[in-house]
Amino acid sequence: MRDVMIAGISQLPVGEHWDLSLRDMASRAIEAALLDAGGALRPQAIYIGNFLGSVLSHQANLGALVTDYAALSGIEATTVEAAGASGGGALRAAYLAVASGWVDTVLVLGVEKYTDAIGSVQEYAASQALDYDYESTAGMTATAQSALLMQRYLHQYGAPPDALAPFALIAHENAARNPNAMFRRAIRPAAYTSAEPVADPLTIYDIAPYADGAACLVLTAADTAPASLPHPPVLVRGSSVASDRLALHDRDDPLAFDAARLSVERACSQAGILPGDVDLFELSDAFSIYAALTLEAAGLAPRGESWKMAAGGAFNLNGELPILTMGGLKGRGNPLGATGVYQVVEAVLHLRGQAGENQIPNARLALVQSLGGPASTAVTHVLERR
């Protein structure tokens, strides 16, 4: 297996892009990533992470659409769908293509146009991450499901109602200094505790907002990469995907994110490190409870105690293990199928030393994990600055 490096990155600001179509956002992200890589690399394939294009944008066959509009016709083009982990899944496919020697240079595009529909159509589309026959058809939504998980967590571990507040506070504080974030304002603890429940005990501060976005990566083989690349190379040292039972009620322990645990273990094993060796962890905080359960699944906090560590500052930018360093899904916004690519872009910025006011000093190793649903699918990558 060859070493694979990330040579170029790009991201559009996350938000409501009423004036841009799915193809517009995709082509802009591709052009910017190729330019960031120096403009000389020519991709032989593109892997696209998208979740809801066929429902909200009424557009499938994104490979042909995107390559045509971005003047890349003729190259291999494939769409990867794994709900909120679609972008991470696209990176996994691209990594394997380059590492195996099948191609030398590929693009990874994450794109989602959530505002192509409104209201109940959006809610119906997002609920496709759940089990249709046994969950969503009965009216279950991801928000309601996460509220049940949070209720169970607070009860099982005797935690106070505002136990998960630190995760929202960390996300919003870090997003305030991210020019591409949807919400660029920190919040105070009092704002969290006084917020009305959306689905008890979840409030608006526990739920990442769905949004539009496009981000892109240029991957290339380290042994064939030009010596004149404009940025310090970042290598993909570990890559893993794991899955769990789709319906939450079928799991032996709903508070055990087993797929998240397995994918972290396998990616770190491949990289020859332990999870605690990394300098930052970009995890999925689509809901605050996901952040808590992910940290515990990864072995970075004892079960039932991640919120205590968060309250003590362990996961702040200057803490033992910074998380959500550019705002996470909560502060930056959650562009669903594109989120996994945004997470990697943000990690690469730290490893390059280009994360601005949020820069983690001397960052060398990053752990990035994307979740499809409540860790029904988990995609994890380990990145290293060469």
What mean pLDDT is predicted for residues 365-384? 98
Q: Pick from 218, 234, 250: which residue ends a domain? A: 234
What mean pLDDT is predicted for residues 242-268? 97
Q: Tens digit of pLDDT for each residue in 180-239?
A: 999 999 999 999 999 999 999 999 999 999 999 999 999 999 999 988 899 999 999 999
Q: Pick from 191, 219, 234: which residue ends a domain? A: 234
308 domain-assigned: yes
Residues 135 and 99 in one domain: no
What mean pLDDT is predicted for residues 257-283? 98
Place of tokens 């959006």: 122
Measured CA angle at 91 (ends 86, 95), to 5 deg: 150
Q: What's the pLDDT at 250? A: 96
DSSP string, 66-115: HHHHTT-TTSEEEEE-BTBTHHHHHHHHHHHHHHTTS-SEEEEEEEE-GG
Residues 285 and 180 in one domain: yes
What mean pLDDT is predicted for residues 149-170? 98
Residues 59 and 135 in one domain: no
* Cα dihedral sign, 322-216-335-256: negative
Q: What's the pLDDT at 13? A: 98
What mean pLDDT is predicted for residues 365-378? 98
**Confidence class of residue 278 from pLDDT cuts 50, 70 and 90?**
very high
Residues 36 and 181 in one domain: no
125 domain-assigned: no
Residues 190 and 225 in one domain: no
184 domain-assigned: yes
Mean pLDDT for the chain? Answer: 97
Q: Which residues contact 285 (CB under 8 A, 6 or more apart)?
A: 167, 171, 208, 291, 324, 328, 329, 330
Residues 308 and 357 in one domain: yes
How many Å apart are CA 86 and CA 82, to the nearest integer?
Answer: 4
Residues 215 and 283 in one domain: no
How many Å apart are CA 89 and CA 22, to the nearest integer?
Answer: 19
Tell me which residue range forms the domain holding 340.
Answer: 130-209+236-385
Residues 171 and 219 in one domain: no
Q: Tens digit of pLDDT for each residue in 70-128?
A: 999 999 999 999 999 999 999 999 999 999 999 999 999 999 999 999 988 998 899 99
Q: What's the pLDDT at 272? A: 98
Neighbours of 308 (CB within 10 A): 15
Q: State the CATH number of the domain containing residue 110.
A: 3.40.47.10
3-state class (DSSP) for residue 328? helix
- Could you tell me where the beta strands, DSSP code E, fall in the chain? 4-11, 45-49, 76-80, 105-112, 197-199, 202-203, 213-221, 234-243, 280-282, 365-372, 377-385
Q: What's the pLDDT at 145? A: 96
Residues 249 and 150 in one domain: yes
Residues 74 and 90 in one domain: yes
Q: Pick from 234, 267, 296: which residue ends a domain? A: 234
Neighbours of 299 (CB within 10 A): 15
Residues 112 and 204 in one domain: no
> What is the domain count for the chain?
2
Residues 267 and 273: beta-carbon distance below 8 Å: no
Q: What's the pLDDT at 386? A: 87
Q: Tens digit of pLDDT for each residue in 15-68?
A: 999 999 999 999 999 999 999 999 999 999 999 999 999 999 999 999 999 999
